[in-house]
């Protein structure tokens, strides 16, 4: 067994990354092929591209790092530091996009969105969970090396 290996955290991160890739991939595919937005939501753009495309790229990066770590091709500590940084970027990005969606949410309430909240809010929740779990792996490994 590798040192500092936390199988539950890695498996959960991998599952969350797959869920993020599937969700943002669906949103991206609908946007790419139909030029409309999925779930009858407004489609926020950042630097000229749909926000869901950025989410897909971030979730793919997290998935690849988590998979390489899980398969033993990357050091767990290094991979989870990358995952922690990428999920932090995802938190900032989705928080920024949600900030722009707040007026519609405040005016129309949860009826403003098909799923109750903007789709970026669900991305934010997954990024937060990934961040917490990856921090746990990094912290556990740091404690073990200091002992």
The Cα 59–Cα 116 span in angstroms is 22
Question: What percent of the residues of the chain are helix, what percent strand, and what percent coil, each to the nearest 5?
Answer: 80, 5, 20
Quick one: what percent of the chain has pLDDT higher than 90? Answer: 60
Q: Residues 82-134: pLDDT tens digits?
A: 999 999 999 999 999 999 988 888 888 888 888 888 899 999 999 999 999 99
pLDDT at position 145 is: 58
The rounded distance, in Å, linking the Cα atoms of 23 and 7 is: 24
Contact by Cβ (8 Å): 55, 27: yes
Q: How far apart are CA 106 and CA 103, in angstroms?
A: 5
SS3 6: coil
- Per CATH, the homologous superfamily of domain 7-146 is VKOR domain (1.20.1440.130)
pLDDT band, very low/low/confident/very high, at 1 (cuts 50, 70, 90)? very low
């Amino acid at each position: 067994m590798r040192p500092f290996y936390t199988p539950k955290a890695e498996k959960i991160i991998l599952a969350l990354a797959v869920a993020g890739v599937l969700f943002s991939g669906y949103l991206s595919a609908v946007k790419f092929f139909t030029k409309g937005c999925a779930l009858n939501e407004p489609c926020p753009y950042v630097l000229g591209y749909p926000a869901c495309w950025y989410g897909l790229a971030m979730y793919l990066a997290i998935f690849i790092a988590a998979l390489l770590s899980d398969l033993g091709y990357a050091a767990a500590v290094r991979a989870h530091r990358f995952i922690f940084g990428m999920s932090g970027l995802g938190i900032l990005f989705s928080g920024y996009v949600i900030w722009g969606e707040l007026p519609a949410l405040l005016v129309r309430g949860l009826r403003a969105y098909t799923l109750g909240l903007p789709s970026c809010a669900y991305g934010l929740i997954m990024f937060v969970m990934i961040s917490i779990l990856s921090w746990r792996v990094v912290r556990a490994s740091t404690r073990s090396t200091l002992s």
